[in-house]
Amino acid sequence: MDLKNYNSDDYAALARVAKAMSHPVRIYVLRHLSMQTCCYSGDLSDELPIAKSTLSQHLKELKNAGLIQGETEPPKIKYCLNRQNWKQAKDLFNNFFDE
């Protein structure tokens, strides 16, 4: 990769995604969501041996990075991959590691 031609916005976006993916629980959530259409936060908390508040923080990080999206269906929140942003993230990683 020619680092001189790599857009600084791309660096920032890649760093934001990499940071959001920097925890095993977040990787698990992304993988879990990639294998289904959507999932409720309660279903995830049943699967993971962590406190609901901790899971909530991980979901918040993924959402802030734009990798997932949440829709409130009281009293639950339904989470899905943000497919468009997920594709962009994959493209950023592919371009970064391309050369």
Q: What is the pLDDT of residues 45-76, one digit of tens each?
A: 888 999 999 999 999 999 999 999 999 988 88
- Residue 51 maps to which CATH number? 1.10.10.10
User: What is the count of structural domains for the chain?
Assistant: 1
Instruction: Name the band, by pLDDT with cuts 50, 70 and 90, for residue 1.
Output: very low
Q: Tell me how far apart the alpha carbons of residues 44 and 92 are, in angstroms, rounded to a whole number.
A: 28
Q: What percent of the chain has pLDDT over 90?
A: 69
Q: 17 and 89 in contact (C-beta within 8 Å)?
A: yes
Percent of the chain with pLDDT strictly greater than 70: 92
Q: What is the pLDDT of residues 83-98, one digit of tens each?
A: 999 999 999 999 888 8
In one letter, which amino acid is 44? L
Q: Residue 21: which domain range?
A: 3-97
Please work out, in degrees rounded to the nearest 5, the angle formed at the alpha carbon of residue 27 by the alpha carbons of 3 and 53.
125
User: Over 70: is that where the pLDDT of 2 sits?
Assistant: no
Q: What is the spatial distance between Cα 60 and Cα 37, in angstroms, rounded to a whole number?
A: 19
| Banded model confidence at residue 42, pLDDT cuts 50, 70, 90 | confident
- Model's pTM, two decimal places? 0.85
